[in-house]
Chains A and B, each alone.
Chain A
Amino acid sequence: MKSKYCMKTTMSSFCTALLFSLFMIQSGFAQAQSRSVSGNVISTVDGMGIPGASVAVQGTKIGTTTDFDGNYKIEAKSGDVLVFTFIGFKSQKITVGSQQSINVKLEEETSELKEVVVIGYGSQKRTLVTNAVTQVSGENLTKTNTTNALQALQGQAAGLQVTSTSGQPGEGLNVVIRGAGSTSGTSPLYVVDGILTGDISYLNNSDIESISVLKDAASAAIYGSQASNGVILVTTKKGKRGAGGQMTFDQYYGVQSVARKVDLLNATEYGVMLNEAAVNSGKNPYFTNDQIAALGSGTNWMDHMLTDNAATKNFSFGASGGSDTSVYSTSLSYLGQEGVVGGKDLSNYERYNFRFNSEHKLYKDVVTLGENLSFAYIDKNGIGVGNQYNNSLRSAFQATPLLPMFDADGNYYDTTSDNEPWLAGAANPYAMMVYNNQNESNNQKLLGNVYLQIEPIKNLTFRTTLGLDYYAGEGHSYSPVYQLSIYANSAFDKVNQNMNKGKTITWDNLLSYKFDAAENHHFETMLGTSSINYDGTSISATNADVIFDDLEHAWLNNTTNKDGAKMSMTGLKQETKRMSYFGRLNYNYKETYLLNATFRMDGSSIFSKENQWGYFPSVSGGWIASNEEFLKDSNVINFLKLRASWGQVGNQNARAFQYLSTIKSNNTNYIFGDTEGVLTPGAYPDRLSNLDLKWETSEQIDFGFDARFLNNALSVTFDYYNKKSKDWLILAPILATAGADAPFINGGDVVNEGVELSLSYQNKIGDFSYNISANGAYNKNTVGKIPNADGIIHGLSNELYDNAGEFYRAQNGFPLGYFWGYKTGGVFQNQDQINNYKSASGVVLQPNAAPGDIIYQNVNGDDKIDASDKTEIGKPNPDFTFGFSLSANYKAFDFSLMANGVAGNQIVQSYRNQAGAYGNYTSAILDRWHGEGSSNTVPRVTEDNRNFTQFSDLYIQDGDFLRISTVTLGFDLAKMKQSKPFFASQFRVYFSVLNLYTFTKYDGMDPEIGFGSSNDDQKFSSGVDVGYYPRPRTFMMGLNVKL
């Protein structure tokens, strides 16, 4: 921190007062006359004495530990409470009476009771957590053999929906916690080892110790303005104190293929369809029956685009260990995944990870210092997976099978001189993919922190952490000269080269204090500050006329063009600053009545001075009913905790400086004089300012319980929540007369209401142990209060096909991003039906229709079919998300199966550009109407595509699916009975299938579709399949070795 920016605020004095008032509670305990009490501490498990157990007089500093045989001696007086504790055992409290000797039997704790959950700025015993927090162990993530942690989380936590935006290696994932709540995206906050970051896909699964998903506002509120979409806390692996060193080696190799290809028409079927469309359009058929028969199967474009047996591989090496004062954990790993579309040259992802974490205790544990450091280097190239104009796969869906791949000379076929209407203008989609996707990029991310913690007096700790999130990236691309058709051609070659880098520096200071204010009243308090400063720069330049013609030489120095029109360049710098103050109070009475309150205030430089600060409180409580007398000895209910929470969190996903009116000078030119291409630069105010812009807020209540039954074999967690996200930061459309682009404004809300249930059952029968767990969530989402006159944030047009209209919206009273179009009511079978399809007042509604045309429903009941009849015909967000897993062990064998799915959502499928008559169809068109009674679902084909140019429910399919995501069978040689000691503690080989099978009625290649809209300001759209890169099915072999 540069000192010139630093200043003391009034906040700290406020906090001082608060903490001191808490400290005062503990004073005033008088000391009295003591005597000696002795005894022994034994374990209920084996009846042996426990050495090293701690014995303390509650509320004092008097304490001792047991000797080797479990004996102790301590000074205490009558009425004192002795507390006996030892790691792994339930602590016990005994009030001193008149006796001299007190013997204690400690019960072993079940694993659940010991378990600690990572929460914001700290950790907490699972039993005491009063919020909706789901923790997933690193082990469960590694089991999935996925390339990144987000994909591994799929189906593992109730209420967490993870959807691929594309199956391409290294592409992003949509993460939604408890329903989409904002138009500016659903991405949660990621925190890796305490450092806030925007993405965790750079992490290797094997580096992760655990992931906590903070779902309710009360758990997330400690992250204030960043947390409205929930928080995902990642802890990387640390060494264990006192544990010996251990090395691990993990490796897998797999081959990937597309699980299900979309069924397109072959040349014969296509010829039939072309003929039929011509006849239906009043023309003569193109082909005779003999000609059609001779067409054969033609080119199968999907087969050309898709690659079988693309490799995926992973190697990781790790080591960890520790002494009494120092622990360390380190790893090095490599991951490579080739794409199943276009293969390695066009679509590939490789990642190298390095991690080093260590921690050291100094001065008798008074000072702790350590660091967590991870570095990732990612090499990536890929094909276009965006909207209809930036999607390499899409063109293969509609390329005619009559187009050959190569010409007689073996070059990609060029249709420029072809006159057949289906060839003229058609371009070889494989060649297009090759020509337009010559790119490679690499980026690096260094994320880490260094921390220093001092504990000057017991239970008072001060911790300061300096964190760094540094990224750098570069890329270049080459686009060659080519000619494939009159539309698909490039007259000159081009090189783009770009670089970016940036850093976020975080400085956190935490002060925490634990104390018991009176008997059984336990307090934990924490106060903290956090300052986060980001700055980043980027530069990109494009030039033409390259002296080489390949990607390898595609660097700007090799370009020779001097003409300004063929060049472009951008370069910019951005910075943002945030400052936060926060505090937390945990209180419990006898570990039975629990209370937790947090408060955070956040300041952000992206808002104006007046609206810079936001305040985010939360409170939650819990009651562990199973600690009460009436349940304490229950054989049915081993544990039962009821929870309730309320909190507010924020979102600052607006672009910076919306309180200023900007002057646009790029792309603003006029040409004076006669020389084409010579531009004079201008400038104009392009955006209205909004001084009043403030934080988006999400308020959530949550009721839930955690319970364990049947001797702790069955655990159940249930939550009900109601989350209201309000004051969205949106670009609401404004009247054109305002003359400039709309500013971000606050307005609109969405209510997500739902329930979540997680079940887990484990059992052991001799050598056979198994675990079944399942989770599911129901969510309902409703938009309200969009602040413009029509209450609608309109979706984009031209997304599904050329000249396609708007088809998704955010609108008051409807689910976020719902699909808006015509409802259809079957197909007109004959002219009588058309003549009789009338409004209430007797007007024929579709007078221009012909038999075979689609029937549009007259939703508003007036005398015509027009835009006012468009209505909700689907929604992208599922009602249900669920996952389950099953694992079993028998001696040296282990087996696991994981599955996940969604239900209740719809998908928009649009593969064909309806602006042309000759695009290919999927085989669904074979069910079309072609004569009375032939079909009442798919309309007839025509050359003007009249039944498909209006967005209707013909485009909608149900998106329900259940995916068997991972099935693994493993065998551990180290668990075999060995004649002599085996060199490793684990030597496991396994065979795994990823994405084994997907149960779905959706007829595309993959029902898991995260893509929505090409507009970054409309991230609420999803479930739009305009040609989707499918997730592959992978068969793999792997090896895990632990020495």
Chain B
Amino acid sequence: MKNTYLYIFCFSLLSLGSCSLDTEPLTQLTDTNFYKTTDDAYTALVGCYDGLQVATGASGLGVPVISEVMSDDCFGGTGNSDGFNYAAIDEFDITRSPSDVDLLNGNWIGYYKALYRCNVFLSKMDQIDWKGNTTLRKTYESETKFIRAYLYFEMVRLWGNIPLLTEPSSENVPQANPDEVYKVIAQDLVFASDNLPATAYNATTGGRITKWAAKSLLGRVYLYYTGYYGKTDLVGVVTKAQALGHLENVIASSGHGLVDDFSTLWPAASVDKYAGESNKENVFAIKYTYTSDYNGNTDGNHWLVMFGMREFSSYPYGRGWGITVNSKLWNVYAANDTRRVATVIGIDEEKIAFDKKNSQREYTGYYNKKYTPMVDKDGKDLPLTMGSQFWDISQFQDYVVLRYADVLLMAAELGSGNAQAYFDEVRKRAYKANFTTLPVNADNILKERHLEFALEGVRYWDLLRQGIGTASSTIAETTTLLNGGVPGTKTITAAKIQATKGLQQIPNTQITLSNGVLKQNAGW
């Protein structure tokens, strides 16, 4: 057995090669080393704002865009050889583009990703060392809940029937009763209204969610829910009087007010006179900037380009993909209403030498002026002048969700004692010297809202909350539009709108992934 020692020697040599397998990610945070300090908390909060920005600005189809396409103010338009997805949305008719079974899948994914950020952050509140600063905690919690409420509100308006998650889950969650969703929205907004500091808007960093934003959004949610679903209060959480109270509080204490000249709210309508992104009328906006690229940065307004004139720039208006504005909108304004030329680009009216009718589908001669890409005097796209390389995805115009004018008109609609004064304040700004008084009533308020908020992504929901009957009959239309320069008949039928209840298609990919737990909306 003298060789035994040799064998043992050899084996010990073999075992020398044994090494541990311990490694860790060297350039990546993990959830085991995050959500600890107040710095982490702020970073996570910014992550939630980013989620909101990506979900509403860079995912799927722009909701402000499709809100306009669904309304009576815009047509699907776009390129003459493009697919017909915008037409399907415009006409509430999937047979216009039968293969588009995933029209809004990008939006759906973007929303749930943003919600996941909020839900994870809310679930980590207790493990963060706040160093006794409960105000800070409540502020961050309120902002996060506002973002969650805003996302759910957009989703539940759009689809009606959506899975509701208030904490992270990988389970196959079925669609919730809309009431449950509205309850979470209402509770989150009430929490934010109660817990955000009562600081004047101009003492808060621009873009941060304020108490006033929460209260104003609550008013919008109240009006939409009670209107569309025919209820008398907001799922038992907020009464009409409470909703009005919040709005009156904004009017009394926020420091917000109307800018003098309506056109200065819109960069393309006022150019050098633009009132700026933090003007006093801006109650809540989702902010975008020009740093989007194709390497993962998604800070830009990716949908703005849809509203631009098809492939054509004319100072100050930039090129885009050509969602067209219904000529009826131009005609609904009185000639002395300053809002008309601030809202709509009229190709003939402004003598624009537009020569891309060949590429434009559903040409009407009108485009959106409130939201349009812009160029400088040399015809250079503004994002490029800022240093971006991407004129299309790096548009940086913020989306103004709520203006003070809206607060005034909502308060009037909810029966404020000052209803006539609020109503007149908005109309006086619009008509200037030509102002003549009009009695405040529900009908007049809704008509005024159309003129005031046209092309801002508000109109469709204002129609829908008057009931699907009113909405469908207002939107339905048969007209003649130019497709690639060739006249064609455009028909939007009320029956199709009614069949869908005004709701959108649930993405088929999600339905199949859920193995049928998710159900498609009627009419799709």
Contacts and interface: CB of A to CB of B under 8 A. Distances in A.
Contacts of B277: 674
Interface in A899-931: 914-917
A315 to B, nearest CB: 41
Interface size range on A against B: 35 or more
Given A663-B29, A789-B514, A790-B512, A736 B81 contact: no
Contact of A916 (B6, B81, B278): B81
Contacts of A664: 29
A685 B31 contact: yes
B387 A492 contact: yes
Interface in A432-480: 456-457, 460, 462, 464
A419 B278 CA distance: 40
A528 interface: yes
28 contacts: A5-B20, A9-B18, A19-B7, A421-B358, A486-B311, A492-B387, A531-B19, A544-B387, A565-B290, A579-B21, A612-B21, A669-B299, A672-B205, A674-B278, A676-B396, A679-B291, A682-B49, A685-B117, A734-B170, A735-B514, A736-B513, A737-B173, A738-B168, A739-B117, A789-B516, A805-B99, A866-B98, A916-B81
A577 B20 contact: yes
A604 B21 contact: yes
Contacts of B13: 462, 464, 509, 511
B21 A660 contact: no
A684 B207 contact: no
B291 A5 contact: no
B440 interface: no
B19 A579 contact: yes
Contact of A681 (B12, B26, B46): B46
Given A419-B355, A672-B208, A736-B513, 18 more contacts: A7-B19, A9-B18, A12-B12, A462-B13, A527-B14, A529-B17, A574-B26, A662-B28, A663-B30, A669-B46, A677-B291, A684-B48, A684-B50, A866-B98, A867-B101, A916-B81, A943-B81, A944-B484
A20 interface: yes
A736 to B, nearest CB: 4
A656 interface: yes
A566 interface: yes
B134 to A, nearest CB: 23
Interface of B is mostly: loop
A708 B108 CA distance: 65
A684 B29 contact: no
Contact of B23 (A19, A462, A492, A605): A605
Interface in A618-670: 656-657, 660-670
A740 B170 CA distance: 9
A661 B384 CA distance: 37
A157 B282 CA distance: 71
Interface of A: 1, 5-9, 11-12, 15-16, 19-20, 23, 281-283, 419, 421, 424-425, 456-457, 460, 462, 464, 486, 490-492, 507-509, 511, 527-531, 533, 544, 563, 565-566, 568, 571-579, 603-605, 612, 656-657, 660-674, 676-685, 688, 733-740, 788-790, 792, 794, 803, 805, 864-867, 914-917, 943-946, 949-950
B99 A511 contact: no
Contact of A666 (B296, B355, B514): B296
A12 B7 contact: no
B469 interface: no
Contacts of B356: 424
Nearest to A425: B311
Contacts of B278: 673-674
Contacts of B365: none
Given A665-B43, A917-B80, A673 B207 contact: yes
Interface in B78-121: 79-83, 95, 98-99, 101, 105, 108-109, 111-113, 115-117, 119-120
B95 A736 contact: no
Nearest to B21: A605
A571 B23 CA distance: 19
A646 B30 CA distance: 41
Interface size range on B against A: 35 or more
B15 interface: yes
Contact of A683 (B20, B34, B296): B34
A942 to B, nearest CB: 8
Contact of A533 (B19, B32, B380): B19
A581 to B, nearest CB: 8
B515 interface: yes
Interface of B: 3, 6-8, 10-32, 34, 40, 43-51, 53, 79-83, 95, 98-99, 101, 105, 108-109, 111-113, 115-117, 119-120, 163, 165, 168-170, 172-173, 205-208, 276-278, 287-291, 295-299, 311, 313, 319, 355-356, 358-359, 380, 384-389, 396, 484-486, 507-510, 512-516
B17 A507 contact: yes
Nearest to B115: A739
B311 A424 contact: yes
Task: Tell which of B47, B205, B358 has the most Cβ of chain A within 10 Å.
Answer: B47
